[in-house]
Structure 1
Amino acid sequence: MSQEWNDRWRQQALPGLAAQTWDLIVIGGGISGAGILREAARRGWRCLLLEQRDFAWGTSSRSSKMVHGGLRYIAKGQWRLTRDSVRERQRLLQEAPGLVEPMSFLMPHYRGKFPGPKVFGGLLSVYDALAGRRTHRFHDAQQLRYLAPGVKAPGLLGGTSFLDALTDDARLVMRVLAEARADGALALNGLRVTQLLREDGRVCGVEIEDSEGGAPQQLRCQALAVATGAWAERLRATDNGRQLRPLRGSHLLLPGWRLPVAQAFSFMHAEDGRPVFVFPWEGATVVGTTDLDHREDLDQSASISQEELDYLLAACAQQFPQARVEAGDVLSTWAGVRPVVAAAGAEQQGKPSNATREHVLWQEPGCVTLAGGKLTTFRPQAIEVLQACAAMLGRSVSDDGSAVFAPVASLDIPGLSGAQLRRLAGRHGRDLPRLAQLVAALGADCVGASDTLWAELAFAAEAEMVLHLDDLLLRRTRLGLLLARGAADYLPAIRRLCQPRLGWDDSRWQAEEQRYLTLWQRHHSLPSALH
């Protein structure tokens, strides 16, 4: 993206939004909305995406970072969901190396405990058949102790390994949006839809307000796609009762040295029999996730509770007793809210983990709302939404199997290793040449112990529509999670690099810094620090 996305550009762009009738307006800047925009743009639709806060602000920056087929959905009989997921996982691994990467998972087996090697191996045989390739293998106890030093030993029968994938979910959203923009789409953050406009019983546009200031505007469109995740019911007139069940999943991030794992571990929590994970990510170790009804205000960032902290620490103690992981070892936390579709009164109908992850479309004339869904299957979900919108316009849309991501031309950047080049190409795609220029100007140093280059910070500040400091440190980069105390010790150096690129004066920077540190303390530290 060559345009500088600063405040001045924003004020120049906004008045022109109402000057045309859009073929499609997408509400929601997470992976679902980004996917819809990308599929519309590739087909030549005049399309606009509106995000009320920041791209990937909600669930799409707070997921478990897994691009997986949903192994447990097989056991629930959700064959189509599993089939679509494993196929899309393979597609993303092929199209976005460096952003979506394969990860080996290990499931240990213990005498008398579920699942046993035979049952789990049978499940994985089906999983592999759906993916079209065999990846699972059984390791006996002696092999497993070598593969996983420190794993709980009493009763250990061995373990089964299989392949899935991990990603940086927020960077995945940014990359999909960049592909949509390259095909002519427009995506803007900080614009809240306050109401839908209707004429003759049909949705014909939206009224928006700018979070950064300015008068409300009315925008017109031929079709509207609502992809706001857990907020999907906000703009929808319904008399069918509540159909979304917001479920919270919380995670711990530990320094890699504190609980070093070379691959992901999946095991059943002794407390409730739910699967939990411990896996390496961005040089650190993630422990997750919980699954419980989220009854807090959706307009506030979700936060881990003391109960969830205790649950995840207990998982560490159960599977890696010698590590003796404690709350004081935690670098940061994050909690996301899953938009699970359920019938009215579903909270009384079973455990959160048993709720389906299938998505549904709610339709009214001129408007399609996507409810539910998974990160892995964002592409087929987007095409389904677009097909519904097209039908309202007398058009047709088919799934032609086109790639989500354009191939990234190989580029040699002096000072960077092959692994670093792969990482940058995956996260930035078409913008890799501009990253190369910044590396040439700023050097190839990383920020602290992270894998993030100072040049990536500079690029985000210049070109990725950063409205607030948390956009830069929690989503464009993940430094606020990966460095101690939300990267507080690095803020002076970050200021020197980024303040002039953002165009903020001293008072604005100071206000943003205080806002960010307060937000981090409230939503990304330990729950004891919340009070």
Structure 2
Amino acid sequence: MRDLLVIGGGINGAGIARDAAGRGMSVTLVEKDDLAAHTSSASTKLIHGGLRYLENYEFRLVREALQEREVMLRIAPHLVKPLRFVLPHEPGLRPKWMLRLGLFLYDHIGGNRSLPGSKAVDLCATPLGGILRPQFTHGFEYSDCWVDDARLVVLTAMDARERGADIRTRTRCVALERAGDGWRATLESEAGIEVIEARAVANAAGPWVDDIADLATEGRAVDHLRLVKGSHIAVPRIYDGEHAYIFQNRDGRIVFAIPYEREFTLIGTTDKLFTGDRDSVAISQEETQYLCAAASEYFRQPVTPDQVVFTYAGIRPLYEDHAEKNATVTRDYKFVIDAPDGAAPLLSVFGGKITTYRKLAEHALARLSRHIAVPGGKWTESAPLPGGDISADNFPAFLVRVRTRWPWLGDMRSERMARAYGERISVLLDGCDSVESLGREFGAGLSEMELRYLVGHEWARTAEDVLMRRTKLGLHMVKSQKAAVAAALDHMV
């Protein structure tokens, strides 16, 4: 019998599996699709405290998120990079004193920080204001971080596996019932049906949390999700520089504009109640127009729907707290334990942010420890994720090392691979001494060697797994190149 069955291969499930495995627990994680196939690959790609949550008085959440921002910079310095945000002041919206006070709190509520603090900026005297409409003359700068969200999930799952966890993608839990002092779970995969037993279940199924809770409790669950869709658009790069913008909207929401994949500006996000097919989530025309209009309120050159190159959308599985507006539903996480009369526990995870997943996992195990034996203590705060052990180097110094050791990679590919794999790049490039030794080139810098690594080490099975989650190279490929990747994978998996 396993100690823990984790259902859900998004960031929360991967984080719980990693933490539990590192404490010596026997863990199985099952995910019905690919890792990060849904919500965890559809974020705004930020590790941040959540500046706007201060308005909702979610001080605990903001404090924890800012502290976790520092942790993530330490344990995943290749994946997480500092990003400077520009917040133009709109005279008709929040007053300057309110923005200044909010940023002061943001600078200090999290305790010690390694990133530069906020400051006021004269947008007329800096290139930061050059692309904005002329009425925006004053603003503020502050710091947060960018992350490759899907890779964060994959690397967290890799670390869980390396610590003994059994990670099973494309495996669906179709039945879940208590049996004796544990759970009996029926799992369905391409290999067929299998029944496993576990002392506890962590339900981290994201938008499917309610389904798993109902499956396990025969419909007794009383806590539920509010599914809120967030959508993003990408347009050809609007401005030079590596800074981002945060714009206030007249409806009280905010919209980000962020440099993305060298060639694009990512704009998002929305808050729409979702009731459709959770496996097929897409942006609506209304949302596209909303994001274009919000950006056009600030950028000198309007953003129009015909400029949109690609879009993505995901569902936030928020705890239903009956807030009047979707934008004010808490982004904090909540645990619900079902363990009647001392029976085997089911812990269901509602909400959460990608920034706080590691802390969420610690708290989840603390809650489970009231019902089952959880060995060991907290350990993930100082343990780097795979590839994150770049010793005393910061990322720029590490990149220099990569380019010195493998100069034939070229500047663009070396930076992309150093970001994606960190120190694990040496595993991927083992035995390679030239571009030719990487094997077939599929386009956009993707080689046969890298493709084989993703299949062998990172659970990649389909072209979408590779091109849209583990790398974003599909954004730079033509249709025939993507088809060639799919064909090659057919022979590898």
Q: Structure 2-normalised TM-score? A: 0.87
Which aligned pairs between 1:196-235 and structure 2 lie closer than 5 A?
196-200=176-180, 203-210=182-189, 212=190, 214-235=191-212
Corresponding residue for residue 378 of structure 1: 357
Counterpart contact for 2:463–2:485, Cα < 8 Å: no
Secondary structure at the aligned position of 2:108 is classed as: helix
Which aligned pairs between 1:91-490 and structure 2 lie closer than 5 A?
91-110=71-90, 112-131=91-110, 132-133=112-113, 135-144=117-126, 146-154=127-135, 156-200=136-180, 203-210=182-189, 212=190, 214-236=191-213, 237=217, 238-239=219-220, 241=222, 243-256=224-237, 258-260=238-240, 262-270=242-250, 272-283=251-262, 284-298=264-278, 300-322=279-301, 324-343=302-321, 346=322, 349-365=323-339, 366=344, 367-395=346-374, 398-400=377-379, 401-405=381-385, 407-408=389-390, 412-416=405-409, 421=414, 423-429=416-422, 431-437=424-430, 440=433, 442=435, 455-480=449-474, 482-483=475-476, 487-490=478-481
Counterpart contact for 1:191–1:209, Cα < 8 Å: yes
Counterpart contact for 1:438–1:459, Cα < 8 Å: no
Cα 1:79–1:182 shift into 2, 3 Å: same
Shift of 1:396: 5.2
Corresponding residue for residue 59 of structure 2: 79
Q: Which residue identity lines up with residue 232 of structure 2 in the other structure? A: H
How far, CA to CA, are the matches of 1:94 and 1:206 in structure 2?
Answer: 37
Shift of 1:281: 1.8
* Greater alpha carbon shift after TM alignment, 66-75 vs 417-426: 417-426
In the TM superposition, what whole-angstrom CA distance separates every residue of 1:204-242 from its partner, at most 9, and x where no partner exists? Answer: 2311101x2x33111011221111111111121354656
Counterpart contact for 1:290–1:308, Cα < 8 Å: yes
Shift of 1:116: 3.0
* Greater alpha carbon shift after TM alignment, 258-267 vs 274-283: 258-267
Q: Percent identity?
A: 31
How far, CA to CA, are the matches of 2:18 and 2:141 in structure 1?
Answer: 35
List runs of 5+ in structure 1 lacking aligned partners: 1-20, 504-531
Secondary structure at the aligned position of 1:143 is classed as: coil
Number of matched pairs: 464
Shift of 1:26: 0.9
Q: Which residue identity lines up with residue 56 of structure 1 in the other structure? A: A
Q: Which residue identity lines up with residue 59 of structure 2 in the other structure? A: W
Q: Which residue identity lines up with residue 335 of structure 2 in the other structure? A: L
Pairwise CA RMSD of aligned residues?
A: 2.5
Secondary structure at the aligned position of 1:377 is classed as: helix
Q: Which residue identity lines up with residue 481 of structure 2 in the other structure? A: Y
Q: Which residue identity lines up with residue 352 of structure 1 in the other structure? A: N
Shift of 1:259: 5.0
Q: Structure 1-normalised TM-score? A: 0.81
* Greater alpha carbon shift after TM alignment, 365-374 vs 404-413: 404-413
Cα 1:265–1:451 shift into 2, 3 Å: farther
Which aligned pairs between 1:491-510 and structure 2 lie closer than 5 A?
491-494=482-485, 498-500=489-491, 502-503=492-493
Counterpart contact for 1:387–1:397, Cα < 8 Å: no
Q: Which residue identity lines up with residue 140 of structure 1 in the other structure? A: D
Cα 1:91–1:439 shift into 2, 3 Å: farther
How far, CA to CA, are the matches of 2:490 and 2:169 in structure 1?
Answer: 20
List runs of 5+ in structure 2 lacking aligned partners: 392-397
Q: Which residue identity lines up with residue 341 of structure 1 in the other structure? A: Y
